[in-house]
Amino acid sequence: MTGRPLGDLVGYLDAYLGIADFPDYAGALNGLQVENRGRVTSLVAAVDATQLTIDAMADPGALLLVHHGLFWDGAQALTGRHYRRISALLARDAALYSAHLPLDAHPEVGNNAVLATRLGLSESRPFGLFQARAIGIQGLVPPALANRVALHREVAAQVGVPPEQVKLISGGPEVVTRVGVMTGGAGSAIAEARAAGCDAFVTGEGAAHTYFDAMEYGINVFYAGHYATETFGVRALAEHLGRRFDLPWAFHDHPTGM
C-alpha cells in the first residue's frame, strides 16, 4: 500500500492541535482513537464518528478526522453499536482521529476561528474559558452586518441552512457592534459573551432557560444548530493536513437538523 505513515500524521496532528495540553471532557479522548495497519492513503472529515460516516468510507487506508469521537459514554463493551462501528473501521483498514475542544479553539482551523473569519469579524480576540483555556472568538462586525437582521441572514448563509432554521433571540440592540462565536452547544456561555463586550453571540444550541439569559443580559443570540456550526473545523483540518502530506480528502456530510 502506498500513502503516508499513520504515525507521521498523528504526530503532526498532536503537535499542531496541542492535544496533550488542552483540557477537555473525559469522554472526548482526543487524539488517535483507532489505528490501522500503519499507512494512510486518504483523509475523510466528518463531524461525528457515526455508523453512517464509517459505512460511507469506500477507500481502504483512510484516516477519519472527526470532532465527536467514539467514546463519549466512557468505557463500553464492544457489543451492539460499539462493535459495529469498530468492526466497520477495521474492515476498511481505517484509522480514526478525534479532536474536540482543541479543534474548537484552534486559531487557524478551529470551528470558531473559521466561522468568525467567514462572518468577516475584525480585531478578533479569544473569550470564554474552559479550565482556564479560551475556547471562543469575538470580534467587530463588518458594517454590512451591523443590523441584527442582516447578521441573522449571514449566519444562516455561512452555516448552510435556511434563515428560518437559525433561531434569533432578540435580547440585545438592533445595531450590533461586537459578535462572539462559540460553536456547538455553548448556550451556557451567554453571560461570558456579554461580559466580554459582545452584543451578539453565535452558537449552535442552548437550553430553554437561555432565552431569559439572552433577554436579561441584553444580548442577541443566534442558535444556528449544533451540527451546522461544527462542520468548519474538520473540513479546514482535513484540507490543511491534505496539503501538508499530499493526500486527497473529502467531507462526509450527515446533517442532523439540530
pLDDT of residue 1: 62
The dihedral over CA atoms of 195, 196, 200, 206, expressed in degrees to the nearest 10, equals -60
Residue 69 near residue 49, CB atoms below 8 Å? yes
Regions of the chain with pLDDT less than 70: 1
In the chain, what are the domain boundaries? 4-99, 105-227
pLDDT digits (tens, 9 = 90+) for 49-98: 999 999 999 889 999 999 999 999 888 899 999 999 999 999 999 999 99
How far is Cα 4 from Cα 235, in angstroms, rounded to an integer? 20
Half-sphere exposure of 162 (CA within 13 A, CB side): 3
pLDDT of residue 142: 98
Any idea what DSSP says for residue 125? E
* Environment class of 258 (CB within 10 Å of its CB; exposed 0-12, middle 13-18, buried 19+): exposed
How far is Cα 114 from Cα 123, in angstroms, rounded to an integer? 14
* Environment class of 175 (CB within 10 Å of its CB; exposed 0-12, middle 13-18, buried 19+): exposed
Which CATH number is 105-227's, of 3.90.1280.20, 3.40.1390.30, 3.40.190.10, 1.20.1260.10?
A: 3.40.1390.30
Q: Do domains 4-99 and 105-227 have the same CATH topology?
A: yes
pTM to 2 decimal places = 0.96
CB atoms within 10 A of CB 23: 12
The three cell numbers locating residue 70? 467514539
pLDDT of residue 2: 86
Instruction: Give which of 223, 257, 231 is closest to 48, Cα–Cα.
Output: 231
Any idea what DSSP says for residue 22? -
The dihedral over CA atoms of 182, 184, 187, 192, expressed in degrees to the nearest 10, equals -20
Any idea what DSSP says for residue 75? S
Strands (DSSP E) contained in the chain are 4-5, 31-34, 39-40, 42-48, 62-68, 95-98, 122-130, 133-140, 167-170, 178-181, 200-203, 220-223, 249-251
Annotation: CATH topology of 4-99: 3.40.1390
Instruction: Give which of 176, 162, 170 is closest to 228, Cα–Cα.
Output: 162
pLDDT of residue 59: 86
How far is Cα 205 from Cα 169, in angstroms, rounded to an integer? 12
